[in-house]
Structure 1
Amino acid sequence: MGKLNFLIPGCGCFSRKEKSRGAGVDTQDDDVVREIEYMKTCGSNAHAVVVQNLKKNYGSHETVRGISFHVDYSQIFGLLGVNGSGKTSTFSVLTGQSDITSGNVYINNQTVASVRSGASRVGYCPQFDTIAEELTGETILYLFGRLSGISEGHVSFFVNCILDGLDLKAYAKNSISTYSGGCKRRLSLAVSLIGGPDILLLDEPTAGVDPQAKRLIWEVLRIVQKNNTAIILTSHSMEEIDLLCTNLAIMIAGKFRCYGSPQHIKNKYGSGYSVMFKVNSNTNVTQMIENFLHTFKNSRVVIQEAHQISLEIPKDCSVSWHRLFSTCEKYIEKYKLDDYFLGQTTLEQIFNDFSTNEVNTKDFRLRLN
């Protein structure tokens, strides 16, 4: 992995919820409002990426309805949203593939028109692999390396570093048409990295990739991040967003519904704690549940199956990690449990809450019409 240092410039628990925790679809989150106000006075060179009140319409349809955010160098910003939320349209603008309806976007202190012309040092990994399958992986990287401005004398070194870093060396001289889906995805990421970009735009870079390759990609992205690169990432993997991102936004119906670090969002919108007990034929399940519900008031059972009991514990000043762990440890012996899992509300649960609110609001509006 150390070979990727050439990029330096100059060198949960599942829950069936009864109620939704996310803000309503028309609610303005205070963190989102704070970012909007900050970006109104922000200069184009204040951050690696500056987005000010971005709007994008297709005809009379508003797909992006005034979003503002910034990304600094050595940061990873996660852009989350269900299909139709405006996430793809936002990425289309950021990559220069689509014109802005109104607002401002600056990348590396240049407009998106500069990104389109190739004047700005931006790497892009699209959602779908668009590489020419008749060529070899090595040839593709040589081609994009030269197009990005790497001299003929140095391009071979850069290509070999990328191939090694993403574990593609064994397939380098093979036709891309013979690559698996996961290999094609890694090659698309390699293409985005080959010029050592200052800004990296990644649209679901690990989609269709096996778990081992996914962790390899995460390791590469952490190295790239540390090498002073600003990264904007979209993903359907909440685990990926939670592990990698410095900040994130959840986009619903063309607007941001929350904004901040993964931990901040979990603290703000999470319902509290979740616990999962692995039970067996020796476990007195009824007594255990009654005891737990008595110990932690207002907690509730969300899953009760033959070998698994899951409960949610709401936020409460009397509930602490220490108290929860102590209780679970006692239950291991008292109720002869196989194991237990204790955690906080996950990003996936919060994301699903926001998504559910969007669907419910759309249904309500349809009924009104």
Structure 2
Amino acid sequence: MAAGRRNLKALYLVPASLCVCVIASFQLTAFTFRENLAASALLLILFGYATIPWMYLLSGFFTSSDVAFVSYISINFVSGVSTLLLTFLPRLIAGISKMESLTQIHDILKWAFLVFPQFCLGHGLMELAFRQVKYDVNESFGIDSYINPFQLDSLGCLFISMAIEGSIFLMLRLVLNGLSFDTHGQNTSLLPNDEDIDVELERKRLLEGMTANDKLLLYNLRKSYKNVKNKRFFAVKDICLGIQRGECFGLLGLNGAGKSTIFKMLTGEIHPSAGQAMIRTCKGDEVRIFSAMSNEDITIGYCPQKDALNNFLTGWEHLYFYCKLRGIPKKRIHKVSGALCSRLNLTDHIDKLVGTYSKGTKRKLSIAIALIGRPQILLLDEPSSGMDPCSKRYLWKAIREEMDGGCAVVLTSHSMEECEALCTRLAIMVNGMLKCIGSPQHIKNRFGEGYLVTLWTNKEGVCEYFSKTFQQLFPGASLKKMHQSVLEYHVSQDICIEKIVQILDAMKTKNDIKSYSVTQTTLEQVFIQLATQHDENISEDEIFNGLP
């Protein structure tokens, strides 16, 4: 955050310097005469020093960048124009009517409005113009009435006011940031009493420091919001998680489970209410993720849920821009961009405007941007959304190549096929908490409910008779599907898989069935089971439709 403020202030000096250059070039007498040019430059510099920390303080009240942008413009406009009018009009009328009361009102308001940097800037420039008019009139009578703008009774009070305001706002922001970090470990735990054993072991592993191979570490990460009734709602509840180099970790959950909120905290879009997100550097040190973003040794790639693309630029222009941001030398940009396009099958569309892209093609471009610079941590929020099966295979291959290079990948997806194909470990989130964690096979073994047995009979029309025979052989078996000569049963997990195969082989030998298959409960079925088990307000139909 401190680095961001320094960068903004340094960036502000560019337009401020251009303004001074324009004033000097056009020789505007009111702002260039004697010491006036130096006073004008100092006004612009101190205005930025006072305003930028103030805007940072206000940013904590907004959750939407669009609302913040409009609010910033409105606040600056109102606090600047209205205060100037309220002081200018009494001064103007007092000069015409010679009313002392209006002069007193002007003096009171002038001192009261010094708390607004916008007023200080505008009033300072107007004062320079007024004094120059007064000087020109007196000069015609041979009187030199020039007043040094740096004197306290001139613009000196404005300079001091903005310097003090900037320092106070800056210190207040630093204090608030320090308090937010210091209180991360002082919050009441939200952990349930019946936390899953695997989730508990993962938490214990992190808190005990057994994280030598972990690249990304989340310590009791939490995010809360307040609704219109001022009631606190927890979107993420004390997540403890470590992701190793070369690992693809999958986050599964219904819409609103907290997956995208975790990504926003990892990318710095929002701040956690408690806990810390850490990254292990190449030297083995753990640093906060907000500090790591300014560290040249750490590269993070991010593909957001919604494509952050400009419809009026081509795919090639996007890649060129982001390659420059990543610090890739200009002579290598064409080679790097071409390699990414080839890996994701994007070459045919790279010279077209993004506005003409399909949803799947936009996702491929977003992923290509995330892969620039060989990131050490790759965050993919539903990357294959809208992609055709062929494009998915290119994506999966690209992700595996990154994993082979030691990249730690965090993936969210609604495709169970994608999770089983890519993820070495995954977790299922419900209501902001991890309900299980482990490899896909481990989760199916722990939470699966039996086996799915599919039979192909020799004759049609004997399904009802055959169903009774099967249920006698496998007590508790339930018929799931029946179509012509195909029967599908669910068999309890209490029955040994070896016994199931032996009985089915005997039936096949007797020519009762043509063939059979035995499969374990799918990951999708486990996901539905856990989601409905821990949230009684959600039905299976809503899960299939992807509703929260």
Q: Which residue of 2 aligns with 1:3?
A: none
Q: Does 2:239 align with 1:62?
A: no
Change (3 A) 1:65 1:97: same
Q: Which whole-Å CA distance do the structure 1 matches of 2:359 and 2:221 have between them? A: 34
The residue identity in structure 2 corresponding to 1:98 is I
Q: Which whole-Å CA distance do the structure 2 matches of 1:51 and 1:290 have between them? A: 53
Q: Which residue of 2 aligns with 1:110?
A: 287
Q: Which residue of 2 aligns with 1:42?
A: 209
Structure with larger Rg: 2
* 2:348 partner SS: helix
Contact 2:444 2:523 survives alignment (8 Å): yes
The residue identity in structure 1 corresponding to 2:384 is T
Q: Does 2:347 align with 1:180?
A: no
Change (3 A) 1:200 1:151: same
What does 1:92-241 correspond to in 2, within 5 Å? 92-108=264-280, 109-114=286-291, 116-117=293-294, 119=296, 120-241=298-419
* 1:334 partner SS: coil
The residue identity in structure 2 corresponding to 1:210 is D
Q: Which whole-Å CA distance do the structure 2 matches of 1:46 and 1:336 have between them? A: 51
Q: Which whole-Å CA distance do the structure 2 matches of 1:199 and 1:159 have between them? A: 19
Q: Does 2:284 align with 1:284?
A: no
Q: Deviations over 1:230-254 (max 9, x none)?
A: 1000000011111111111111111
Q: Does 2:220 align with 1:53?
A: yes
Q: Which whole-Å CA distance do the structure 2 matches of 1:99 and 1:44 have between them? A: 24
* 1:99 partner SS: coil
Report how far residue 283 of structure 1 moved.
4.9
Q: Structure 1 residues 322-331 or 27-36, which shifts more?
A: 322-331
Q: Deviations over 1:313-362 (max 9, x none)?
A: 12235332x7437616844983465x644311111001001111233167
Report how far residue 146 of structure 1 moved.
1.4
Q: Structure 1 residues 110-119 or 328-337, which shifts more?
A: 328-337
Q: Structure 1 residues 137-146 or 113-122, which shifts more?
A: 113-122
Contact 2:456 2:513 survives alignment (8 Å): no
Give the alignment's TM-score, normalised by structure 1.
Answer: 0.84
Q: Which whole-Å CA distance do the structure 2 matches of 1:335 and 1:283 have between them? A: 13
* 1:32 partner SS: helix
Q: Which residue of 2 aligns with 1:310?
A: 488
* 2:387 partner SS: coil
Contact 1:283 1:335 survives alignment (8 Å): no
Change (3 A) 1:194 1:333: farther
Contact 1:96 1:115 survives alignment (8 Å): no
Q: Which whole-Å CA distance do the structure 2 matches of 1:362 and 1:141 have between them? A: 42
Contact 1:49 1:106 survives alignment (8 Å): yes
Change (3 A) 1:283 1:101: same
Q: Deviations over 1:153-177 (max 9, x none)?
A: 2121111100111111111111111
* 2:331 partner SS: coil
By relative contact order (CA 8 Å, sep 6+), the higher-ranking structure is 1
Change (3 A) 1:309 1:44: closer
Q: Which whole-Å CA distance do the structure 2 matches of 1:331 and 1:285 have between them? A: 15
Report how far residue 46 of structure 1 moved.
5.0
Q: Which whole-Å CA distance do the structure 2 matches of 1:45 and 1:349 have between them? A: 35
Q: Which whole-Å CA distance do the structure 2 matches of 1:307 and 1:205 have between them? A: 40
Report how far residue 54 of structure 1 moved.
0.8
The residue identity in structure 2 corresponding to 1:172 is I
Contact 2:301 2:370 survives alignment (8 Å): yes
Change (3 A) 1:48 1:242: same
Contact 2:205 2:211 survives alignment (8 Å): no
Q: Which residue of 1 aligns with 2:447?
A: 269
Q: Which whole-Å CA distance do the structure 1 matches of 2:194 and 2:537 have between them? A: 12
Report how far residue 58 of structure 1 moved.
1.1
Q: Deviations over 1:61-108 (max 9, x none)?
A: 111111111111110000111112111211111121110111111124
* 1:303 partner SS: strand
Q: Deviations over 1:228-281 (max 9, x none)?
A: 111000000011111111111111111110011111111111112112335686
* RMSD between aligned residues: 2.4
Q: Structure 1 residues 132-141 or 270-279, which shifts more?
A: 270-279
Report how far residue 284 of structure 1 moved.
1.4
Q: Which whole-Å CA distance do the structure 1 matches of 2:509 and 2:419 have between them? A: 33
The residue identity in structure 2 corresponding to 1:33 is E
The residue identity in structure 1 corresponding to 2:532 is T
* 2:536 partner SS: helix
Report how far residue 138 of structure 1 moved.
1.2
Q: Which residue of 1 aligns with 2:250?
A: 78
Which runs of no fewer than 5 residues in structure 2 stay unpaired? 1-191, 227-231, 281-285, 540-548
Change (3 A) 1:263 1:274: same
Q: Does 2:498 align with 1:300?
A: no
* 1:84 partner SS: coil
Q: Does 2:530 align with 1:354?
A: yes
Q: Which whole-Å CA distance do the structure 1 matches of 2:395 and 2:452 have between them? A: 30
The residue identity in structure 1 corresponding to 2:233 is H
Q: Which whole-Å CA distance do the structure 2 matches of 1:237 and 1:207 have between them? A: 9
Q: Structure 1 residues 352-361 or 35-44, which shifts more?
A: 35-44
The residue identity in structure 2 corresponding to 1:121 is T
Contact 2:303 2:370 survives alignment (8 Å): yes
* 2:330 partner SS: coil
